Amino acid sequence: MENQPVNTIGYKVTIGILLVVIAIMAWMLLNTRTTVVTLVKEKDLQRTELQTELDSLINEHARVKTSYGKLSDSLLQKDSIIMANAAEIKKLLGTQYEYYKVKKKLELLRKISQGYVHQIDSLFTVNTALKEENTQIRGNYQREQTKNEELSKDKVLLTDKINSAAVLKAYKITVLTLKTKSGDKERATDKASRVDKIKICFTLSENKLVSTGSRSVYLRIARPDKLILTHGRSDEYSIKIQGESLQYSTMQSVNYDGTAMDLCPFYNIYSKDVLMKGTYLVSVYADGREIGQTSFVLK
């Protein structure tokens, strides 16, 4: 029996088909890898583009703040919103992000930044206008001030003279240090150990510019060591002189009528008062100011 020839056509067709399929799959795989590589590159480019845009916005915002200086402090709330949005976008760029979501947030950030610039520019414009108006007003004022300069000087000098004149003065101030003897007799002494009364006599000046009426005249006697002689350390024996609380030694109430008055208030030395050798300072006060001063020495 003769061998029948093998039919290889079917095998060849099958092999051909398989080769075609393999070729197609290989092409698809290569194409897919190319597409993936392309997409990765595109995403990297997008990331770089978005990061560049974000950096540009942040740098521009910083430049605007620096340009307007302290004026930008008035928009701190809007500035914090811008920085919070920028931080959120930066965080998204560091993760698996959606391009269009980030792009949308960047657009929103850009609008907020533009609003910030517009608002701060408006503030700057208003501020500049106010400064110009203020400069103009000051210029007008200075011109008017120049016109009336001599008159103003005369008024100031006159006011100073009146103010200086409208104060009481104590003059011819004398101090008697006395020792009281039996029968209420008093004898002058300059021995610190013997003095039991200090008598201060002076004349309250005549002044028609000073208001008349009841007023108090205070005397303050300071020992050589600066301690004030007083019968009490409470507020009862203190006065306010130019905002400062001072202890006083004695006082006398007078009904001032604008004419000169002679006064002789005194201070009794009690057992608690320790007199020492040295120079004592006596200050006279009325109407919230010092009106006279003298000193005396005890041996």
CATH code assigned at 217: 2.60.40.3880
The answer to whether 273 and 229 are in contact (CB under 8 A) is yes
In a domain, 286, yes or no: yes
Determine the Cα–Cα distance for residues 220 and 285; give it in Å rounded to an integer.
8
In a domain, 28, yes or no: yes
Question: In this structure, are 282 and 179 located in the same domain?
Answer: yes
In a domain, 24, yes or no: yes
The tokens for 27 are 């092409």
Question: In this structure, are 184 and 269 located in the same domain?
Answer: yes
Question: In this structure, are 91 and 175 located in the same domain?
Answer: no
> What residue numbers bound the domain in which 53 lies?
9-126
- Helix %, strand %, coil % for the chain, to 5? 55, 25, 20
Residue 221's nearest CA partner among 186, 189, 184, 269 is 269
- pLDDT tens for the chain, residues 1 to 299: 445 555 577 667 777 777 777 777 767 766 666 555 555 566 666 667 767 776 777 776 677 666 666 655 555 556 667 677 667 766 666 665 566 666 676 777 777 776 666 766 676 677 777 777 777 777 776 777 777 665 555 555 444 445 445 678 888 999 999 988 776 788 889 998 899 899 999 998 888 777 888 888 999 999 999 999 988 877 788 888 888 888 999 989 989 888 888 999 999 888 667 889 999 999 999 888 888 899 999 99
The answer to whether 267 and 244 are in contact (CB under 8 A) is no
- Cβ neighbour number for residue 290 with a 10 Å cutoff: 15
The answer to whether 209 and 165 are in contact (CB under 8 A) is yes
Total count of domains within the chain? 2
Last residue of a domain, one of 65, 95, 126: 126
Residue 294's nearest CA partner among 187, 175, 137 is 175
Residue 220's nearest CA partner among 196, 198, 253 is 198
Last residue of a domain, one of 126, 159, 189: 126
Q: Strand, coil or helix: what is 216?
A: strand
In a domain, 141, yes or no: no
